[in-house]
Amino acid sequence: MTNNFFTSIIQFVILGVKEMKWTLKEIQEHRGEPVYFTETINRETALMDRDKEILAVSDIKATGFLLYENRSVLANFQIDYTVTLPSSRSLEPVEVTFNIPIFETYVEDEMNFEGSNDPEDVIIPIEDGWVDLVPAIEDNILLNIPTQILSEEERQSSDMPQGSNWSVVTEDDLEKQRAKEKEEQIDPRFAGLKALLQDEENLD
pLDDT of residue 188: 59
pLDDT of residue 151: 87
d(CA 74, CA 92): 40
pLDDT of residue 47: 97
For the chain, which ranges sit under pLDDT 50?
Answer: 1-2, 4-17, 163
Residues 141, 142, 147, 150, CA torsion sign: positive
pTM to 2 decimals?
Answer: 0.67
pLDDT of residue 175: 74
Confirm if 105 and 124 have CB atoms less than 8 A apart: yes
Tell me the per-residue pLDDT of 141-171, one tens digit each, with 9 for 90 and over: 999 999 999 888 888 876 555 545 555 555 6
pLDDT of residue 194: 62
Contacts of 130 (CB under 8 A, 6+ apart): 21, 22, 23, 24
Nearest to 137 by CA among 25, 28, 58: 58
pLDDT of residue 18: 54
Nearest to 30 by CA among 141, 149, 140, 131: 131
pLDDT of residue 23: 94
